[in-house]
Each structure stands twice: as C-alpha cells, then as structure tokens.
Amino acid sequence: MKKHILRALRFLFAAALLAALFILPAHAAHYTGDATTGTTYYLEVGDTLHLTNPYSSSGLTYYAYYWGANNAIVSFDPVSGSRYTTITALKPGTTTIEATLQGTIVTRIPQKVWNSFTDSYDTYYINDYSDREYLGAPTVVIRDTTPPVITSQPTSQFAASGKTVSTSLTATDHSALSYQWYYMDVGDSDYTMSSCQTSTYSCTMTEAKSGRLVCCMVSDSEGNYTQSDWVRLSLLGVTRQPADTVVPVGKTASISLQAEGEGLTYQWYWKNAGESDYHASSCKTNTYTTTMIDERSGRQMYCVITNKYGMSVRSNTVTLRKPLTVAFTTQPSGKVVASGTAVSTSVKATGDGITYQWYWKDPGMSAYQVSSCTGSTYSTNLTSVKSGRLIYCVATDRFGTSVKSNTVRLVVFSIVKQPANTYVAAGQTASVPVTAEGDDLKYTWYWKDLDTPAYAVSSCTGSTYTTPMEARKAGRKIYCVITDKYGNTKTTNTVTLNIKDAIKITSQPTDQIVRTATSCSTTVNATGTGLQYQWYWKNAYDSAYQLSSCTSNTYTTAMTTEKSGRYVYCIITDSYGNQLKTNTARLYYLGIDKQPAPVFCGNGKTASTAVEASGMNLTYKWYWKNRGANEYSLSSCTGNTYSTVMDANKAERLVYCVITDAFGNTLKTNTAKLSMLAINSQPTWATGALGETVSTSVKADGVGLTYKWYWRNADMEEYLLSSSTGRTYSTPMAEEKSGRQVYCVVTDQFGNSITSNTARLSWLDITTQYSPDVFVTYYIGKTQRFSLNANGEGLTYEWYRATERAYTGALVSTEKAFDYPIEKDSHFYAYCKVTNEYGHYVYSDICCIHHLKFWSSPMESRYFSHGETAHLNITCEGDVVTLEWLISPAGQTEYMTLDPSVYTVERQEWRIDTHMRMPMATELHGAKFIVRITDSTGATLESSPPGYLFLE
C-alpha cells in the first residue's frame, strides 16, 4: 500500500511539472509605466498598473488630462483631471488605453494704433488662442489564471472480463478544456499516459487490468490545470447465474453460481414466500445448500459477491420449490366415428417433467395392452374390429409420482348408405333400405303423409322400410333413427315415396309483393315422377307470354317498377310425358326506400318530412294528429313530402303516409313525430391554460329542456357521461384533457332528444409574453428579435405586423421567433397567432419598438471660469415629443428639471441638437447634467453618462 502511495505522489509531482510548461512567467501584482503608444502591459485579474501620461503640460496656458479605454475590462482612478491614473484589471481580455492631454496656448500679440492727440503710437495687446491635443495609447493584456473546476469526480468501477469499463468526470472553465488520463496497474513501478483524451476513460477489462488506478489531468487554454481523484478499476462479474431449482421434500437442494474477480467472497440471502425482508444465510461459498421442507417451497435467494477491493455485484434472484402435484387438468373423451377414420383424444396434466403412457383393451380382451403412444394424445385408425376399445393414460413426473386418467371408449358407428327417394306404381310395395355399421344396431322408422301434421312411428324395425303404395301415400316422407348398443344414435336423410303415374300439385304459386328492390319469387310444389318445370311471364300491359329461363319449381326475378303487376305460371312435366299447368300468379313491386323521419324544428319554422317509395304510378295521402287528439285527420299534402309551419299547438304532432300503386296495392309508412325542438347555437371549441376553466355552451329551442353532456379524451374510445347538466360544459384544463371531445343531448319534456355537434377542448396558452412595449436603442440596419413561449400540442406560429394597436396586418413570419430589421420609422407593432394541432388559436399581446437614440458621445466634463458662460450639448434622434435638461448639484443624488430658457432644441428631420448655456457659478462646480427624451407613446430615454461642470 505504501508503494502505491509513493507512486501516486511521484505522478502528482511529474504532472505538476508538465502543467507548469503552460503557465506564463510570474510577475508582480503592481506595475508602473508610461502610457506610450506601442507599449504592451501584461496583467492578471486583480493586478494594478500606475500609468503616467507621457506628455507634459509645460507651455500650455490651459490644459486637462483624460483617461479612457474601449471596453470595460479595466477601471480607472481617477478617470480624468490628473496626469496619473491607477488601472485595475477586472476580467480577462485586451484593451487599448487612451491617455489624452488637451490644452490651449495663449499668445499676447501687440497692436500699434496712432494717437492724434499725442502724435505717437499707442500699444495694445490681443490674445491668440492655439488648441493642442496629445494622445498616448498603450495596450493592456489581462490573463486568467483560474484553474478548471472538477464538478463531478470519476468513480471506481468494475466489469466482467471482456466487457468495457468506463469512468467519467465533468469540469467547467472559462475556456476550452483538454483532458489527459493516466493509469498504473498493480505491480507497475510508474504511471503510464493513456490514449484517452476526453472526459471519459474506458478500456476492456481483463485479469491483468484488475486493480488499475486511473486519474485525469484537466487543463484549459491558458495552461491552468486541475488533477482529478485517483479511482480504481477492477475485474468482477457473474459468469454463470444461479438457476431456479425443484427438489422433493426431504432432499437436499444445491444452487450454485460462478464468478470472476480477485479475492472473491460470497454472501447468500434468502426469504420465504410471504416474507418481505431477506435474511443473511450461513452459506459463504459459491453454492447455497438446504434441506427441502414444505415451508421452504417458494423460497427466493440471491448472492452478493465481493472482490478484495470491496466492490460488490449481486446475482440474479432464483426460486427454490418442491415439485408440483401431478394431476390431470384435461381428461380424455370418448369418440364415435365412422369405420376407417383416424380418431384421437388428448389429455393435459400438471407436474414437473411430465411423461405419458397410454393403455388400451378391445372387447373380449381380459388385460390392457401398453400403447406405442407416449405423448399427451392417443391416436388410432378405428375399424369395426376396434369398435368399443377402452383406453386410459398414466401421467408420471420426473420424481416418479404417477396418476391415472379416466377410461373412455372408442366406437365405430356410421351410415354406409342413406335411404333414397322411391317411385313405385299404385298397388306395388315400396321398399327403402339403409346400410349402417355399429354394434347391435336397432332401427326405428318414422313416416308422415302430405295431409298429416306430424311424423308417426312405423312398425318397421329392420334396416328396410316397406309399405304397399296407394294414392294417399303419394308424397309420404320417411326417415330412420339407428341406435347402437352403447346408446349412440344416428338419423338418416328424409326421403319421399312417390306414385310414378300421377302429377299432383300440392301448392300453387301465389301472388307476391316486394317492398324493396330485391328478388321476387313464387313457388309451385308438386308430386310425380321425374318432374320438370317451365315458367312463362308477361308484364301488366303486354299481350303475350314470354318463355322464362327459370326451370325449377321456383320463379325468381330481380324486381323493378316496370315488372310490377307481372303475370307468371308454370308447366310441369313428369318422366312419362304427362303435363300439368299451374294457376297464374302476379308479382308486385311496392316498397318504401326511405321512411319519413322525426323532425326537430324551432317555433315559426317550417317542419318537413318525406317518404321515398318505389312502385308504379304512386299516389300519396298524409294523415296527422296533434297531441291529445284521438283520431288522425287527412292532410292537404298529396306529394311525398309533408310540410307545416310549427307552433305550440303542433308540438308532438304525429304524421304518416298511405302510398297506393296503379294496381290498388297500398302501403303505410312509419309514424313520424314533429317536435318543436331545435339547436340554435352549437357548442364551439375552446382553449385554456393548464388549470384554467374552459367552457362551451349550447342553445336550443323547446319545452322543458334538460341537458346531458358527454365527453371523451383523445386516447379514449367511448364517451362518458359528464356531471354538467346545464347549457354550459366547464372543466379545469389539464394536459390529459387536451383534445377532449364533448357533445350535448338536449331533451324536451315529451322525451324528444336532439344531439349537438361535437366540440373540442384543447390546451393552449402563451406562458411567456414579451413586454407589450419593447424599448429598443435605434441603430439603422440592426435587427430586433421577437419571440414568445407557448404550451400546447403541434403548435404553429404566425407573426403579423400590426396596424397601431389593432390585430390586423400583413404576415411577416411563420417561425417561433423572427428578427425584424430596424428602419427609419417611428414605431413597429407586431403580434403572434399561435395555433395547435386541433386548429384552436390564441393571440399574443401587441408589442411595439420605439425609436429613440442619443447620437453624440457622452457629454464632456468642462472647466469654466467664474462668470463665464458654461456650455454643454448632445445630439439625439427618433420620435421625440419632449426634451428636457436635468441637473444634480454636487453631493446630491436627485435630479431637478432645468428651466427651458437655459437650453435650445434644434430639429432637423430625425436629428435633434440641444445646447445648454448658463453663467458659471460656485454652486455649479461639480454639478452633473443629463438629457431626458420622451416619444409619442410615453417611452423615455436618458443620456448616460452625465456631463460635469467644474470651476477653473
């Protein structure tokens, strides 16, 4: 362990030397020098530099010193008035120092004037002013020596052999960071530089790398560095997980796992079924053992494996249980099939490792035989020899426990040849045989003549039915029920006994009327030998019959209006050439295609309901009855539509129509109700923010109205009944309610109901509005960004340039945010329309860009003699409505407005020049002045920094 510590310390020392290569030479915290152009001074944050203006005021009558920089990375003390200043480094960067000397040289120039009184020249002197300015501009470079900060250290990790193991850190700094990882394996004498140069170190774990120490050196672009903690990577993993185990009661259960790593120790934990907490086991190896008892069935256990570095991994949790009870959940079933048919029956049993063995015994055998079927299904090709075979199954689990199934029987039973229709002459014996296979079969025959209502049991008990034929038996129906000795039964087909020398029509074709445009059929039933049918037809206004393509005992045609009133008949021919003509039947087409519908109508509105019908030359009669009346009255409406103007007396009026075709056939429609119930205003979509109540309403006309609202969310299939029972549905908006659909069922006091349209509620709100009045410093060619934040689903954005404060104007952008180029206009108004995926939308506030700006540099600080006219000026531009000068005397913080008489305002298009003049006095010494401008919307802007007046 000491050896590892010494190696780590040696690594830290070497890393420190490496990082030192990137550190700038050391320097003092305080500097002095001249502010000479071309000179460069290097400082760190917090350092000071005492500078001297290199230019002397010697020879200048009036002079002043000024100090300045082109950005705010340094501070001055003093800013002006002195040849000397102390600069303090505030933040990293580079700046140019402006050291200015402004002065004036006054020269007295003599002037000679002739004096006529003295006859000589008098001498006078005038002043000549010559202005001077001297500028020094050294450069100051400020460096940052703050090392990177590791906000999240790497952590020790482990992995199985062949798996990737990784550890990471996070760090912050003002500049770009670089990373270099180092590692040292167990037994190494020194550290090694890794190829990992990101914030993550990773490698493939092997036995040789187990116990590896790693750390990272984080450095920035300035050469500053920070070292991370040392962490350890080790080999640890479960190579074979424990498995669920089934052990009989009284036997020893053993559950093992395999793991890899150094100096592994094992601790098993267990809990029995129904327990909430695990218990530490006394098992300390890779194998858990216990003797199985009932209470331990369902016990769960896992193992925690720990390596010599204290890292742990947990195995899968497995279950120990006793074997399942062997039992049949599905018993075999008996079968009755035809001879030669493959028959099968199956079982299903519970238990561990179940195997099956089937046993069989045919009739006459004394002992059961072992079957070759060893699955859950028994199969065999069943023949007459095997009919009556008994079978059962024995299910055995892997521990030798067995259980026997029920015993079932397999039987061959089938009708080999069905009875057939029979044609015999009158006076002869009709014989109808049936052939069947089965054990000890019994036959029961049944018969029914055409004029008898039910079947009767025959005296025939063999496989053949016989009877002497006579006229009354023509058309007799017979069938046989066959029963085997096990009680199984089979019923034959039903057949007919016919007298072959007579055709008898048992039912004539009948007139038919169809109500829809479908097929129309009429049928003849006849008895005879080998009967054939030929139909003939003619339409209502035809003179001759046509041969039909129908050659069965039924005539069928697709019905149309033209075929209504069609005549049809049939010629029946038997195998002996005998013919018989049927009666003539007529086919009519009179149908209602669309019934009159109930009508919901407002008071004073026209209620109409119509019927659509098909048929030939139809006429219509409507009948009506008001609420409380006993009888219907004939209406004056004679078309297919009934209409009336609704009033209170007609509420709940019942109407129906009687339709008559050209042949006098009539058809009555359903009764329709006219209700004075109508929705005048449908519910509309609504939007709201989360937690805000959204509402939608319905407005209806009717008597004694009640309202039921139904709703479903976007992810629901069925509507649910709401608790809202008024005209308005309201609910607090929530995220899951966005897209909710609602509708209302309005019911009047008579029980009539009408359903409204469906409205949709959605979540939509603007969470972050830009300020309604955005103040922007005016720069031609620059841009101003407009943006907002909104909540909702599938949002789209439309930005418009507004007209003053109205929501009108041209579309300028469809992005969430857009940049507007500043132009020379007084104001720019804009607003945004936000729309969600359901088409719902909201408008943002209207915002405005104000055009106000000061052009000139900050007002200078000036020196004047007592009584001399002090002068300050500044230039601004924009939609300036008012301009005023303000003064704050020395030692005060509040500003006071100056009298307009001491300043002037000159306007030139968008440019405004203003000058302030007043006699210099003692009370003005050290006073500061600013200018405040205001536009037409009330927005204001003040000049900064202030100008100062000083006494010379």
What is the tens place of the pLDDT at every residue in 831-885?
A: 888 998 888 888 888 777 666 777 766 687 899 999 999 999 998 877 778 999 9
The phi, psi pair for 850, rounded to 5°, reads: -100, 145
CATH, range 506-587? 2.60.40.10
Percent residues over pLDDT 90 in the chain: 53
Are the CB atoms for 742 and 695 separated by under 8 Å? Answer: no
The identity of residue 917, as a single letter, is R
How far is the C-alpha of 70 from the C-alpha of 138, rounded, in Å?
12
pLDDT range class, residue 804, cuts 50, 70, 90 = low
The pLDDT tens digits of the residues spanning 601-656 come to 877 889 999 999 888 889 999 999 998 899 999 999 999 999 999 887 888 899 99
pLDDT(213) > 80: yes
pLDDT(145) > 90: no
| pTM tops 0.85 | no
pLDDT range class, residue 533, cuts 50, 70, 90 = very high
Assigned token pair, 919? 């006699």
Find all residues with CB under 8 Å of 187, minimum gap 6, and list them.
none
Q: Give residue for tokens 């008994």.
A: 390
Distances (CA, A) of 940 to 76, 819, 853, 933, 935: 30, 24, 10, 6, 7
Asked whether the domain spanning 765-851 has the same topology as the one spanning 30-143, the reply is yes
The tally of CA atoms less than 13 A away on the side-chain side of residue 120 is: 3
- 340-411 falls under which CATH superfamily? Immunoglobulins (2.60.40.10)
pLDDT range class, residue 920, cuts 50, 70, 90 = very high
Query: Average per-residue pLDDT in the chain?
Result: 87
pLDDT of residue 45: 84
The pLDDT tens digits of the residues spanning 466-485 come to 999 888 888 899 999 999 88
Are the CB atoms for 140 and 87 separated by under 8 Å? Answer: yes
Are the CB atoms for 571 and 590 separated by under 8 Å? Answer: no
pLDDT of residue 9: 39
pLDDT(11) > 70: no
Find all residues with CB under 8 Å of 817, minimum gap 6, and list them.
785, 786, 787
Instruction: Determine what percent of the chain falls in helix, strand and coil, rounding each to the nearest 5.
Output: 5, 55, 40
* Mean pLDDT of the 288-312 span: 95
CATH number among 3.30.465.10, 3.40.50.1000, 2.60.40.10, 3.40.50.300, domain 855-951? 2.60.40.10
Annotation: CATH topology of 2-23+145-236: Immunoglobulin-like (2.60.40)
How far is the C-alpha of 323 from the C-alpha of 867, rounded, in Å?
117
pLDDT of residue 851: 67
The tally of CA atoms less than 13 A away on the side-chain side of residue 95 is: 24
Find all residues with CB under 8 Å of 383, minimum gap 6, and list them.
339, 340, 412
The pLDDT tens digits of the residues spanning 176-190 come to 999 999 999 999 989
H/E stretch holding 550 reads: none
The residue ranking higher by pLDDT, 762 or 7, is: 762
pLDDT(773) > 60: no
pLDDT of residue 146: 82
H/E stretch holding 379 reads: strand 377-382
Are the CB atoms for 486 and 494 separated by under 8 Å? Answer: no
pLDDT(202) > 70: yes
Closest C-alpha to 623, from 677, 675, 669, 676: 669
pLDDT of residue 544: 94
Cα 425 versus chain centre, distance: 83
The pLDDT tens digits of the residues spanning 96-144 come to 999 988 988 888 788 777 777 787 887 777 777 788 888 888 887 777 7
CATH number among 3.30.300.30, 3.10.129.10, 2.60.40.10, 3.40.50.720, domain 678-763? 2.60.40.10
Assigned token pair, 134? 């001297």
Are the CB atoms for 572 and 531 separated by under 8 Å? Answer: yes
Are the CB atoms for 33 and 138 separated by under 8 Å? Answer: yes
Assigned token pair, 885? 């000068």
pLDDT(21) > 70: no
Task: Return the ∠ at Cα 257 (arms to 256 and 262), rounded to 5°.
Answer: 130
How far is the C-alpha of 19 from the C-alpha of 218, rounded, in Å?
10
How far is the C-alpha of 302 from the C-alpha of 285, rounded, in Å?
12
Annotation: CATH topology of 765-851: Immunoglobulin-like (2.60.40)
Task: Annotate 642-665 with three-state secondary structure.
Answer: EEEECCHHHCCEEEEEEEECCCCC
The pLDDT tens digits of the residues spanning 551-566 come to 999 999 998 888 888 9
H/E stretch holding 17 reads: helix 2-20
* Mean pLDDT of the 440-450 span: 94
- 414-499 falls under which CATH superfamily? Immunoglobulins (2.60.40.10)
Find all residues with CB under 8 Å of 421, minimum gap 6, and list them.
495, 496, 497, 498
Sign of the Cα torsion 187, 191, 196, 198 reads positive
H/E stretch holding 701 reads: strand 699-701
CATH 2.60.40.10 is the classification of domain 30-143: yes
Task: Return the ∠ at Cα 80 (arms to 74 and 81), rounded to 5°.
Answer: 150
3-state DSSP call for residue 911? Answer: strand
CATH, range 591-675? 2.60.40.10
Q: Which of 200-209, 386-395, 431-440 has the lowest mean pLDDT?
A: 431-440
How far is the C-alpha of 419 from the C-alpha of 914, rounded, in Å?
128
Closest C-alpha to 139, from 93, 100, 101: 93
Task: Return the ∠ at Cα 928 (arms to 926 and 933), rounded to 5°.
Answer: 170
CATH 2.20.25.90 is the classification of domain 241-321: no
The identity of residue 818, as a single letter, is F
Q: Round the CA-based radius of gyration of the chain to a whole number and report it.
A: 56
pLDDT range class, residue 824, cuts 50, 70, 90 = low
Q: Give residue for tokens 């090694």.
A: 192
Query: In the chain, where are the structural domains located?
Result: 2-23+145-236, 30-143, 241-321, 340-411, 414-499, 506-587, 591-675, 678-763, 765-851, 855-951
Distances (CA, A) of 847 to 743, 765, 798: 38, 17, 14
